Chains A and B, each alone.
Chain A
Amino acid sequence: MSAGVGVDLEKLWIRFGDFVAVRDANVKINGGDFFSFLGPSGCGKTTILRAVSGFLEPSDGRVLIGGNDMKGIGPNKRPTALIFQNLALFPLMKVWENITFSMEIKGASAKERRKRADELLDMIALPGQGDKLPSELSGGQRQRVAIARALCAEPDVLLLDEPLSALDLKLRQHMRTELREIQQRVGITFIYITHDQGEALTMSDNIAVMRAGVIDQIGDGKTVYNDPATAFAASFVGENNVFRGKVKQVSGDTALIATNRSGELLARISTANQGKMQPGDDAMLFIRPEAFALAPAGASGDHFVTATVTNEEFEGNVFNIFMEGDGGKELKVSLPNLGQSFESHKGQPMTLQYDVQNAVALPAGELATE
């Protein structure tokens, strides 16, 4: 398998009038990667995609595909294919005509096109559906036709703009696996835009977390999840509990944070911020719901949290316990269901402990809003 064609964004700025949609983005996407831009809507991720596909001219900086500067090259001349959020299947063309549109442009004969369409229809598991109109297909089928249409153009880079957002949950989960399989089979670079961290984590080799035009962190799924670079990344990717406070003491890669409500707690400083946190700084401490474990009643220390239980629920694989948390937000704890007995503590205080390695200390910053 070839290494594929990489995409580089160098000092990319995109402005619309006074509004800065993308601020100084520097991203290196390796050939053959499944790369995701993850961020809430309006963070500028679609703008980046449009700059890569050529529908937008960067205000500053460069877009390189396979090492070539794309300045002045129109979308129809770039080795990219885009899958639109609403798919943009041509409503008046049959499925096979849709799929082989790029060949029609190049002047391929109807026979060649038919043959190629059949191959691709087999690949996307829609054999014999070529003569239908897009409107006669289901949502998932249309999705796959859009993928086939993009792949038929034999792009070096496939760009996907939240293509699963219109599907229902079950289909979405199924399509995740399918997309990942297709990507591994064709071996080209995929750039995927999503606001769904589940999609990003399950499919991607690397993820860029974006907030308000700025890329907060780039890394693989595990890094982004376990070792967030900013408070925003920590709160946006996966569920997380936040404790606000000030740095009291730093020793090596751990920091002691004096939290506003839960006393002094110890946490690992995230890799990106090591050496940057000083005593007295405003800080945030993040512990994921599943990182807690029950502690003996009355235990205390720098990795114990005690709070009053406000609510409890049983979700099957986990027990969820909600406790009075920091800043009005509930503290969520998920304990795995291992068949143990569980007695209600509703209205009573409860003590929990955590492994310091699983708690992350970060400089205080903007949190993701739900």
Chain B
Amino acid sequence: MKSFSFMRVSIWVYLAIFFAYLLGPLVIMSITAFNSPEFPRATPWECLTFEWFAALFQDERILNGIKNSILVGAGTVVLSVAMGLAGALMLTQIWPKLRATYYTIIIAPILIPGVVIGISTLVFWDRINRMVGLGADSFLSNGLFLTVIGQSTFIASYCMLVLVARLQRYDTALTEAALDLGATHAQAFRKVLLPFMKPAIASAAVLAFLASFENYNTTTFTFGEYPTLTIELAQKVRYGITPAISALAFIIVVLTVFAALFNEANIRRKDLVAAARKDATVEELESGKFRVPGFLSSNWAAVALVVMACATVVVVGTATVYSPAQCIANVQEQKRIETELRIQELRQRRAEEAARKAAEEAETAPKPQAAPSDNNSGFGGVFSPNTLTGEGEEESKAPEAEDNSNSGFGNVFAPSTLSGD
């Protein structure tokens, strides 16, 4: 069974690598939200700070983007769930000859690149707008309408897929029974079909909102005067990134995990209750002695949810009283010292070199000696003394890397300034 255990080990290794690829970036991004350098990075760790969260909440454009995203999301959810449901209902009724064609049409938006959907929406409604004779600022060419329309084009397809899966398990006799008992079509829809579809509609709505919230490709052509959060983020990320974005990402990650755990805990609970009901005897059920299992009992998701909630409270509590000013000052002081050290080093080396040159000229060359520097900066291997002892090209490269890494400190310490003197 040696090969079998080898199999198992390799499966687990593979899973570990896979999930590291999947989750690693999010974890690292989350860490950068708490690190003090102005360029988001996890290493080297400098100071724990919550200032990026403060910066985030003061960013007008981000806040406005969130507002627009919610507006667009709400519109998209309503429109695409309605269209998705109508589309799914139609799919169950349409006569067989047309079915394949119809299915291809309503599934196509999933495959059409978002960019193309954005362009076609923009071009088409611009034309309609002109045909109707409205100005450039009419609601048709206003970003809100266009974005909702453009996103709904393909999000409705996702909704349709979710809804049709549930609809396939619906017994149309139920609607007929309602009609037969005197309900109008609208009543039958509202009282019988809709309650049956409710779970799927809820999933479709969540899916639609998430898809709308994160959409970029389509929205980037249609947003007009309503830049959504994603658009604002893209602008920021393209033209300079700050840990405030990491902070936002961290908040979204936490909310997502909360939602997922909550959902999972609910499902687990339902399963447990159902199982308990099944196991309970008839007498227990009828006499009311039946006890519903507690929320936390054998429900890992619920436990995780509670633990996370506590952790959040603790972290937020810490954040309100914690001030990283001292630490940041320390780090800055340390950096200053270090840089000074390096300048001295350079000067010394230059002096030595000059001396050597002078000595060479005088044919009495003293051996050049690298200045020992203790590396406690936590900058990792980049600035290890070895790199510095190299000569010529290597020497110029290391400080360059330094320039990139703490660009936040401005160009005061840039090598160009140094070499200039």
Name A residues whose Cβ lies closer than 8 Å to a Cβ of B: 53-55, 74-77, 80-82, 84-86, 88-92, 101-102, 104-106, 149-150, 153
Query: A76 to B177, Cβ gap below 8 A?
Result: no
Query: B176 to A88, Cβ gap below 8 A?
Result: yes
Which chain B residues border A150 with CB–CB below 8 Å?
181
Query: B174 to A101, Cβ gap below 8 A?
Result: no
Which of B48-56, B66-74, B129-137, B183-191 is the contact stretch? Answer: B183-191
Query: B191 to A104, Cβ gap below 8 A?
Result: yes
Which chain A residues border B173 with CB–CB below 8 Å?
84-86, 88
Query: Could you pull out 14 A-B pairs where Cβ atoms are within 8 angstroms?
Result: A76-B184, A80-B180, A82-B177, A86-B173, A88-B173, A88-B176, A90-B174, A90-B192, A91-B196, A101-B191, A105-B183, A105-B191, A150-B181, A153-B181
In chain B between 192 and 214, which residues have their CB closer than 8 angstroms to a CB of chain A?
192, 195-196
Cβ-closest chain B residue relative to A149:
B181
Query: A75 to B191, Cβ gap below 8 A?
Result: no
Query: A84 to B176, Cβ gap below 8 A?
Result: yes
Tell me which of A80, A88, A92 contacts B171 (CB under 8 A). Answer: A88
Which chain A residues border B196 with CB–CB below 8 Å?
91-92
Which chain B residues border A104 with CB–CB below 8 Å?
191
Which chain B residues border A77 with CB–CB below 8 Å?
182
The 8 closest A-B pairs by CB, nearest first: A88-B173, A88-B177, A102-B181, A75-B179, A82-B180, A76-B179, A105-B183, A84-B173
- State in angstroms the CA–CA spacing of A302 and B314 once bound together: 105
- State in angstroms the CA–CA spacing of A88 and B174 once bound together: 5
Tell me which of B180, B191, B195 contacts A76 (CB under 8 A). Answer: B180
Residue among A76, A91, A150 with max Cβ neighbours from chain B (10 Å)? A76
- State in angstroms the CA–CA spacing of A128 and B192 once bound together: 24
Given A90-B192, A91-B196, A104-B191 in contact, is the A84-B177 Cβ separation under 8 Å?
yes
Tell me which of A55, A91, A101, A105 contacts B176 (CB under 8 A). Answer: A55
Query: B181 to A101, Cβ gap below 8 A?
Result: yes
- State in angstroms the CA–CA spacing of A54 and B176 once bound together: 10
B63 contacts the other chain (CB 8 A): no
Which chain A residues border B176 with CB–CB below 8 Å?
55, 75, 82, 84, 88
Cβ-closest chain B residue relative to A97:
B191
Which chain A residues border B187 with CB–CB below 8 Å?
105
Q: Indicate with 1 or 0, residue by residue over B375-387, a CB within 8 angstroms of chain A CB atoms.
A: 0000000000000
Which chain B residues border A74 with CB–CB below 8 Å?
179
- State in angstroms the CA–CA spacing of A149 and B176 once bound together: 14
- State in angstroms the CA–CA spacing of A104 and B192 once bound together: 12
Cβ-closest chain A residue relative to B173:
A88
Query: A92 to B195, Cβ gap below 8 A?
Result: yes
Cβ-closest chain A residue relative to B174:
A88
- State in angstroms the CA–CA spacing of A86 and B181 once bound together: 16
B303 contacts the other chain (CB 8 A): no
What's the least CB distance linking B174 to chain A, in Å? Answer: 5
Which chain A residues border B183 with CB–CB below 8 Å?
76, 101, 105
- State in angstroms the CA–CA spacing of A169 and B184 once bound together: 37
In chain B between 152 and 193, which residues have their CB closer than 8 angstroms to a CB of chain A?
171, 173-174, 176-184, 187, 191-192
What's the least CB distance linking A78 to chain B, in Å? Answer: 8
Query: A81 to B174, Cβ gap below 8 A?
Result: no
- State in angstroms the CA–CA spacing of A54 and B184 once bound together: 13
Query: B192 to A81, Cβ gap below 8 A?
Result: no
Which chain B residues border A86 with CB–CB below 8 Å?
171, 173
What's the least CB distance linking A141 to chain B, in Å? Answer: 14
Query: B171 to A75, Cβ gap below 8 A?
Result: no
- State in angstroms the CA–CA spacing of A149 and B183 once bound together: 13
Cβ-closest chain A residue relative to B187:
A105
- State in angstroms the CA–CA spacing of A82 and B180 once bound together: 7
Query: A105 to B177, Cβ gap below 8 A?
Result: no
Query: B180 to A105, Cβ gap below 8 A?
Result: no
Residue among A53, A80, A90 with max Cβ neighbours from chain B (10 Å)? A90
What's the least CB distance linking B301 to chain A, in Å? Answer: 25
Given A91-B196, A92-B195 in contact, is the A105-B174 Cβ separation under 8 Å?
no
- State in angstroms the CA–CA spacing of A75 and B196 once bound together: 22
What's the least CB distance linking A93 to chain B, in Å? Answer: 8
Cβ-closest chain A residue relative to B178:
A101
Q: Indicate with 1 or 0, residue by residue over B334-358, a CB within 8 angstroms of chain A CB atoms.
A: 0000000000000000000000000
Query: A153 to B171, Cβ gap below 8 A?
Result: no
Query: B182 to A90, Cβ gap below 8 A?
Result: no
